[in-house]
Structure 1
């Protein structure tokens, strides 16, 4: 975790180390707010550091570490509200917004930092990958609220498809990673293992990226995280008409809720998705509650269980 600890002044770094000790594998977020206690989030558990309260000088130190003492180089990242650092960790930023013509130009006076700790979990998707394959991979939608592990699962699905599993050969996978979360790329190089046949477009708007990848990389499978806009939906439809399998995610809690969203109506009217993977927030991310087929039947209850990852309620938890 050196790439995270280096962001903080020595006194705060030492306070975090004392508090976390040997629990780095459980830590999900460090919330660093000026003039407030430091918040440590472990799944559903929260702890606080009440001494060593960050001040404005500490905030400047963190910004200098993030930007390597050159904020102007981060203009695009500041507009988006986050920075991806070595190791694939993402630092969310908030403060006073500077607008131009009604759109966000940058975030000024940054006083809130959210360090989201990236952890690749190899084989986390091994129990569910057979559900997504039937002679070929099927169009799949992952559904879950924030911090349920959608990206963690999708990342490993990408790796398995692009590397192959059991007797299923590797396929060409194109990933459009708009928020740099799937690959956690630095200068275009993924920090996570995304498989040997994966091509990744980093920090690119989803709709444009999907069209670019179809034209240039001839993928078998197209993967994109957190769809929602009309442009996203139109690009997905273009990909499907081009014969490409799509795997994506969306924020939500139930399949019924997702089906009511106006922007997604075309996808459901065309019966695009053949698999729906529903996640539920638990102590550890990646808890698969249900896997529905295109008829709304929970096939997770009908298939044989896997020796690793299925609890007695038939849900998968990795």
Structure 2
């Protein structure tokens, strides 16, 4: 269980982490390792601290494991501040940043690691199908603050779209994932670590705006899936994709559709009525709770019921 994570941990931390990893694998979200401080485990969005104090030797061990004992192998990842390992788990890095001409050249003297546990929850998006598919898949925005299950949800939507739903006579379509931070597909050396259908292609570690245009030109997708859209160039690329006849499913940070209206770049897409569905997520009953669903007119077509278990 989570063997890929265990393999990058030194024995001292592996022993400390063992009971959290094996007893809380379904709920463990992050392992945070900081030199000269206690190990932190995030379980069900709550922090738990283990008394073991991480050392510089522990940090060096983890870096060697991540780089296969050749730091030059992860030079590009060090510029971005994270490394994706097998299983799709992402290891965030912090330490001394070296810049060149105002841009990040590398992170050196890494003293903090954030191991984010990748979870694929097959079927988590099934409840969304009746809202998102009417003869064809709709342009959709998933809205939520951090750790509300946006990426997990959009990952499962990509799987469903690329597989089709035989019992509902929904045919599989060509899906292109532009995975700038390697979080949706969790690719390692270009190979997705999560389960998808056969009609799916991934551009890994590619900037969103450029990647969407590359995907349209080279892979002719029916749907593009992209995570955490917000910059002007990203929104311009979304509009270009929609104008080219490609459907878009994307995630954005926010608490509700009103948040999106306050952001100039996203507001333009709203004014142009690019999207037909807006899914607002929360972690009220755990990550993946459907809070509200809006239609293209920004009218509620679903609101979370005041009952336990309204989680997908």
TM interval, shorter chain, is over 0.9
Matched residues, number: 309
State the shift of 1:315 in Å.
8.4
Matches of residues 91-102 of structure 1 in structure 2 within 5 Å?
91-102=91-102
Q: Say whether 1:82 aligns with 2:82.
A: yes
In 2, the alpha carbon distance for the partners of 1:77 and 1:91 equals 10
List runs of 5+ in structure 2 lacking aligned partners.
none
Change (3 A) 1:221 1:58: same
Give the match for residue 161 of structure 1: 161
1:44 CA displacement: 2.5
The answer for the alignment partner of 2:58 in structure 1 is 58
Moved more, 291-300 or 58-67: 291-300
Assess, with a 3 A threshold, how the Cα gap between structure 1 residues 36 and 227 changes in structure 2: closer, same or farther.
Answer: same
Separation in 2 of the partners of 1:58 and 1:49? Answer: 15
Alignment correspondent of 1:34: 35
Q: Which runs of 5+ in 1 are unaligned?
A: 302-309
Q: Secondary structure at the match of 1:105?
A: strand
- Please tell me whether the aligned partners of residues 29 and 45 of structure 2 are also in contact (alpha carbons under 8 angstroms): no
Task: Give how far 1:312 is off.
Answer: 4.6
Residue pair 2:289, 2:311 contacting (<8 A) in 1 also? yes
Q: What is the rounded CA distance, in whole Å, between the counterparts of 2:103 and 2:310 in structure 1?
A: 42
> Is 2:174 the partner of 1:172?
yes
- 1:118 lines up with 2:118 in the alignment: yes
1:24-56, Cα deviation, whole Å (9 max, x unpaired): 111010011111110010123221101x31111
Match of 1:70 in 2: 70
Q: Deviations over 1:41-90 (max 9, x none)?
A: 0123221101x311111110010011111111111101111000000000
Asked if structure 1 preserves the Cα contact closer than 8 Å seen for 2:212 and 2:237, the reply is yes
TM-score, scaled relative to structure 2: 0.96
Aligned residue for 1:291?
293
CA RMSD of aligned residues (A): 1.5
1:253 to 252, 255, 262: 255
C-alpha separation in 2, matches of 1:70 and 1:93? 17
Q: Is 2:138–2:276's contact at 8 Å kept on the other side of the alignment?
A: yes
- Which residue pairs with 1:306 in the alignment? none
Give the drift of 1:235.
Answer: 0.7
CA distance in 2, matches of 1:240, 1:159: 21
SS in 2 for 1:35: coil
Structure 1, residues 175-229: CA drift from partner, whole Å, max 9, x if none? 1011111110111110001222111111101011100110111111111111011
Q: Is the 8 A contact 1:43 1:283 kept in 2?
A: no
Contact 1:300 1:315 in 2 (8 A): no
Secondary structure of 1:300's partner?
strand
CA distance in 1, matches of 2:214, 2:128: 29
Task: Report the Cα distance in structure 2 between the residues aligned to 1:195 and 1:19, rounded to whole angstroms.
Answer: 32
Mapped to 1, the partners of 2:36 and 2:188 lie a distance apart of 31
Q: 1:26 to 1:288 in 2, by over 3 A?
A: same
For residues 42 and 236 of structure 2, what CA distance do their matches in structure 1 show? 37
TM-score under structure 1 length normalisation: 0.94
State the Cα distance separating 1:298 from its structure 2 match: 1.5
Asked if the contact 1:288/1:315 (under 8 Å) is kept, the reply is: no
Deviation for aligned residue 1:18: 3.3
Are residues 228 and 194 of structure 1, via their aligned partners in 2, closer, same or farther at CA, if it must alter by over 3 Å? same
Tell me the secondary structure at the aligned position of residue 38 of structure 1.
strand
